[in-house]
Structures are given as C-alpha cells and as structure tokens.
A and B are shown apart, each in its own frame.
Chain A
Amino acid sequence: MKKFAKIAALAGVSVMMLSSTALAGDTFKIGTIGPLTGAGAAYGNAVMNGAQIAVDEINEAGGINGAQVEFKAEDDQLDEEKAVTAYNSLKDWDMQILLGTVTSGSCLAVSTEAAPDADNIFMLTPSGSQKDCIAAGDNEFRVCFSDPDQGSASAIYIGEHGLAEKVGVIYNSSIDYSKGIYATFRQEAEEQPFEIVAAEAFTNGSVDFSAQLQSLKDAGAELVYLPFYYDEIAVVLKQAKDMDFAPIWFGVDGMDGLLTVEGFDQSLAEGCILLTPFSADAEDELTVNFVTKYQELYGEVPNQFAADAYDGMYILKAAIEKAGATPDMSASEISDIVKVAMTEISVDGLTGTGMTWNADGEPSKSPKTVQIQNGVYVGME
C-alpha cells in the first residue's frame, strides 16, 4: 500500500518535471531504448537497472575522461515504431551514445536511424541478438552473442559431449530470438552425431505446452533443447513433471533467470544445462558486487539482460577512454572515433573476460556451460 502512495506522489511530481534539461557539453549523455511497459517489460527494466548501477559506479569513481555520465531510458513497448519515436525523443535530449536497443526487432528499426549514413550515433546493443540487427552501419556493436552463434554452439556442445542421441526441441515461433537460434541449431545438428526427433513450436501468449511435450515424449527425446526465455521454461518444466517426462533439459542464455523467478519450485530445474555468458552465482568479485548491489536496489537477482547492460556501460567507458572522446563533441564525432576504438579494446566484464570486438560489431567471448545442481549453477567444461 505504501507503494500506492508513492506512485501517486511520484506521478504528481513527474508531471511538473516534464521538461528536464541538463547543461550540454560537460556530461556524456547515454540513452537506452527498451520495453519498460507491455509484454517485454521484464527485459527492458532489467537493462535499465543494470546500466544504472554501472552509471552510478562510474560517476562515483570520477566519470569517463573526467566527465560525468547522464543516463536515460525510454520505453518502446516492444514495438518497432515506438522504438523509433523513443529514439527521436532521446535525440531531442541530445543523446550522444545509444546503449540499445534491448530487443532485436526494435534494434533493426533503430539501427538504420543511427547508421553513419543517417544520424551517425554510436550504438552498442546489450541484448539485441538477431544476426542482422547491427548490420546497418559500422558504428553498431553488441554485447551479447548473436543468435546463430548460440544455436551452433549448443549443437556442437551436445554433439561433442555425447549428451544424447535423440534430441527434441521446443521453440517460440513468434520471436526471432528463439526461431533464429533453433534454425542454426538444426543446421549444425546435421553435422553432429545426434538426431532431432521432434521440433515443436509455440506462439506468444501460449499457456499450455502439454501437446508439445507429449509429442517429444512419444518421439523418445532424451534431451530437449529449449531456446527461449526462462518464464516460459518454468511452465514447461512444471508441465513435463506433471506428465512424468524427464529428459535432459538444455537451454541457452534465455534460460538464465529461471532460478530467480519468485515462487518457482527450484527442484524442477535440477539438472538443467545451459549455455550462458553470465551466472549470478559466480563467485568472482565483479559478479558478487553487481548481484549484491542489484538485490539491494531492486530486490531481485539480476539476469543476463541486466548483466549485458552493466557490461555495456563499462565497454562504452573503455571505448570512449581509448578514443579520447570528450563530452563537448557531437554524437557524430564521438561515433567516428569510438567505433574505431571498439575494435582495439579488451574488456573484462560479467559476461566474459577479455572480450574483444571485430569490425562487424560482433563480440568474441566464449559461453560458459553450467548445470543447475542443488539450486546453484555448477560450471561444466
């Protein structure tokens, strides 16, 4: 109930603050775009929160090249058209660098706007994984893996470790993330010593997976590949248990976050294997610091979206410092030098150590394979 009062009060205050302006030229203005309301809100908010922690840390430690960072997140409601509007509104705010967008569809729409032949604003997407979403210009980079990379890496891992001979797949046919990973997985599987015995789709908004699970069970799948997000995976695991179907579950980075779902029966996740660049249970200092701060501020365990955004902000810092950019430069000037610097830096972050980038904007880092044992991630080789 306290929150209600807060909402009412804040709503009043924010009406008054409709136009907030900052002095141009002495701070770096970094924006992000993602779904903060609507069906994808979990991803957008995670990115906003993760990036905010990094911004606070950077500012506390003296900023980038001595200049403070201003950060602003705009909502796109998982809609390409609104993403462009959000992008334009950030431009009105004099954004110099874009840490976005969060989702691939919006990223595709915004990437042509930010490309050198248009606005020329440097763009680093934390989580836009579709293969073409940073292809519109040479000033576009990403933090996460691309979808094809994950798909083939999964197939190779399953094949090389001989995890199973009969593999089933469930994928979400209405999002490109899931379908893109599945397509390359299937492609790579032809070279591997296992067979895809069944592949079943579902669409956004589906609540029931029993029919899909039934087909996989009947096809005798020993391992089921789940290239989609953890909230739906939670339902799949529960329904599989109800029908006594217990294959090896194999997920990609979208599965990370499963253990943090409030109210989730963690015993269901026992034995799940996933390829993920980030694990909130890692014990290195960086991860522990980040996870603790995130929990203190937002009351949740961060997922990979938050980690990608946190890393993204530090990658920007490294690239800006390498390029020697200053906040009085225009977005276009910054873009021209930072895109060169991006290919020269190496960053240690939550989602990988020694991350480097090629001129296409793709990161080079290797996914960790982990297994969930007794409710925690245990590294596999």
Chain B
Amino acid sequence: MKFLSYLINGISLGSVYAIIALGYTMVYGIAKMLNFAHGDVIMVGAYAAFACIMNASLPPYAAVLVAIVVCTVLGVLIETVAYRPLLSAASSLAVLITAIGVSYFLQNVVLLIFGANAKSFQSVVSLPNLKLADGALNISGVTIVTVISCILIMLALTAFISRTKTGQAMLAVSEDKGAAQLMGINVNGTIAVTFAIGSGLAAIAGVLLCSAYPSLSPYTGSMPGIKAFTAAVFGGIGSIPGAFLGGLLLGIIEILAKGYISTELSDAIVFSVLIIILLVKPTGLLGRKMQEKV
C-alpha cells in the first residue's frame, strides 16, 4: 500500500514534468534548440492565471484560457524577437545563450510586477479526493486532472502531428529545413506555430503545477524546467511519446528515491539514473539513433 501511494504521487509529479517536457521536446525537435526559458514561460502562465483569479475574480476555466493566450502570445513574441534572428547563426549555442537571457528577463519582469513574496495558488480543480481501499489510498482531484490532461495532450499532439497539414509541415521542418523550404513549406511560420503550441502547453503546465504544489514565485519555473529538460532527454529529445514516458519515469523515480533511499539525495539519485540510462542508450529511451554522415 505504501508503494502504491508513492507510485500515485510519482505519477502525479511525473505528469506535470511530462507536460513541461512535451513543450521542450516539440521546440527542440523543430528548432533544434534547448529553450531554457521554457520553465519561465510556465511561471508566467501561472502568474497570469493567478492574477485572473485573485485580481479579476474570473472563474478558474477562464483564468486557464487567459493564461494559455498570454503564454502563446509570449512564446511567439520571444521566438520572433530573440530566437529567429539566431536560428541560422554559426553555432546552435548562440540561441541557447539567448534563451538564458530571456529566462533572466522573464524572472526579473515578474519580480518587478508581482514582487518577490511567494503567492499561494488556489487550486483551479475543485474535484474531490478519490479514496480507495477504505481510505488507505488517497488520490487528490488535482492528480486525477493532471494525469488525464497529460494523456489527452500527448494523444492530441500525436494526432495533430500525424493528421494535420501543419503537423506534417512540422515533421518536415524538423527533418530537413532546407528541403522543407524547397517544398514550399513556410519554415518560419511553422516554427512560430510550434512555439505557440509549446508555450500554450507551458501555461497549462504552470496552472497544474501550481494547483498541485501551491507556491508561486518568480523562480518557480526554473527547477521544474530543468527537471523537465532532463525528462525530455531521458525519453529521447524530440520524441513526443519519449517526453511523456521520460516525465512519468522521472517523477516516479524521484518519489521512490525519496521514499525508500534518501530525501537529501533524491535529486542526485534521479540524475544518476539518467546518466546510467544515457550511457546504455545514448539517445534516450525512445530517441532515434543519430545518423553519422561520412
């Protein structure tokens, strides 16, 4: 029973990581860049929802919608202003560093607007807890919503990419930008759409993260961001099912490590598992083997 509780908590945490990782992985797949500011977009999404609920007294679902719109616009804006000029730069590291600059920027803007004090987030989920096995097993409403949204998002994204024209364009751009352009695909537009979707997902992740773990500060996004980045790599960066699997596994390993080994070293354990997996499978669990060009 103890193990089951840990497992459920792990799945709950893992689903949040997974939603963040999905955003990471989409952007990576297409723009081949690690968007270090992704975690901060999550934070902005959570603040947007917070401001809607606390200051504008909007109902939770409206707040989530506003947060999605805010983040989508923000994501496209960041892409256009800060990343696009660098996507064709001599080194892919240039845009990585700019992403770090954007991350500092977002943190400091939010710090100036909302102040440094942590806010507590009233859960947007009003589902009651689910009690199983005579109350020995307790699943909170947020957990249920998080897990379901995570699965829905993953399925929707997979369908979107394989069924729609835009999705196919994304695949093409991620495969070969030059060839895609020659085929008449609007590469910049496709990348912008990817950022829009990734950032919209970040908003959902932000709201769910802060509903399950209700503490919001300008730096809330950075650690989950790094963990989700780890999760994306874990599953094979660029792969959507990989990000889902990576996120879930990371959450479960983290909670089990805390439960059974050491709470102080849980992060070290998570990272060690990651290293071992990558040494055995150098491109992550579901990553494609990289082709070496001769």
Where the two chains meet, the residues of A that have a C-beta atom closer than 8 Å to any C-beta of B are 3-4, 7, 36-39, 41-42, 44-46, 173, 200-208, 210-212, 214-215, 218, 230-232, 234-235, 238-239, 242-244, 260-265, 300
Contact sample, A vs B, 6 pairs, CB 8 Å cutoff: A37-B111, A39-B217, A41-B116, A44-B116, A173-B264, A203-B266
* A208, B135: Cβ atoms closer than 8 Å: no
A212 to B111 CA separation, bound complex (whole angstroms) = 30
* Chain B, range 89-116, C-beta contacts under 8 Å to A: 108, 111-113, 115-116
* A263, B119: Cβ atoms closer than 8 Å: yes
Chain A residues, Cβ within 8 Å of B254? 208
Chain B residues, Cβ within 8 Å of A242? 129, 138, 140, 142
Chain B residues, Cβ within 8 Å of A39? 217, 219
Chain B residues, Cβ within 8 Å of A234? 118, 120, 214-215
For B209, the closest partner residue in chain A by CB is A207
For A211, the closest partner residue in chain B by CB is B258
* B120, A200: Cβ atoms closer than 8 Å: no
B189 within 8 A of A: no
A218 to B223 CA separation, bound complex (whole angstroms) = 28
B188 within 8 A of A: no
Write out, one digit per residue, whether chain B residues 123-151 have a CB within 8 A of any chain A CB (1) or not (0): 00000010000010010101000000000
B200 within 8 A of A: no
Chain B residues, Cβ within 8 Å of A300? 115, 117
For B256, the closest partner residue in chain A by CB is A211
* B224, A42: Cβ atoms closer than 8 Å: no
Query: For the side of the interface on B, what is the size category?
Result: 35 or more
For A6, the closest partner residue in chain B by CB is B112
* A208, B218: Cβ atoms closer than 8 Å: no
With contacts A41-B218, A201-B264, A235-B215 taken as known, whether A261 is within 8 angstroms of B115 at the C-beta atoms is: no
Chain B residues, Cβ within 8 Å of A4? 113
For A4, the closest partner residue in chain B by CB is B113
* A42, B264: Cβ atoms closer than 8 Å: no
Contact partner of A214 (CB less than 8 A), chosen from B6, B108, B142, B217, is B6
B232 within 8 A of A: no
B13 within 8 A of A: yes
* Chain B, range 1-45, C-beta contacts under 8 Å to A: 2, 5-6, 9, 12-13
* B263, A238: Cβ atoms closer than 8 Å: no
Q: How far is the CB of B252 from chain A (nearest CB, A)?
A: 11
* B214, A45: Cβ atoms closer than 8 Å: no
* A203, B264: Cβ atoms closer than 8 Å: yes
* B9, A211: Cβ atoms closer than 8 Å: yes
Chain A residues, Cβ within 8 Å of B2? 214, 218
* A45, B9: Cβ atoms closer than 8 Å: no
* B6, A211: Cβ atoms closer than 8 Å: yes
Contact partner of A232 (CB less than 8 A), chosen from B50, B215, B259, is B215
7 shortest interchain CB distances as A-B pairs: A205-B223, A41-B116, A231-B118, A211-B258, A264-B120, A210-B9, A242-B140
With contacts A210-B255, A218-B2, A243-B138 taken as known, whether A262 is within 8 angstroms of B119 at the C-beta atoms is: yes
* B213, A231: Cβ atoms closer than 8 Å: no
For A231, the closest partner residue in chain B by CB is B118
Q: How far is the CB of B127 from chain A (nearest CB, A)?
A: 11
Chain A residues, Cβ within 8 Å of B113? 3-4, 7
Chain A residues, Cβ within 8 Å of B222? 205
A243 to B139 CA separation, bound complex (whole angstroms) = 8
Q: Which of B50, B112, B129, B262: most chain A CB closer than 10 A? A: B112
For B135, the closest partner residue in chain A by CB is A244
Write out, one digit per residue, whether chain B residues 254-294 have a CB within 8 A of any chain A CB (1) or not (0): 11101100111011000000000000000000000000000
A148 to B215 CA separation, bound complex (whole angstroms) = 28
Write out, one digit per residue, whether chain B residues 28-72 have a CB within 8 A of any chain A CB (1) or not (0): 000000000000000000000010011000000000000000000
A4 to B114 CA separation, bound complex (whole angstroms) = 11
Q: How far is the CB of B272 from chain A (nearest CB, A)?
A: 15
A129 to B120 CA separation, bound complex (whole angstroms) = 26
Chain A residues, Cβ within 8 Å of B13? 207-208, 210
* B120, A214: Cβ atoms closer than 8 Å: no
B122 within 8 A of A: yes
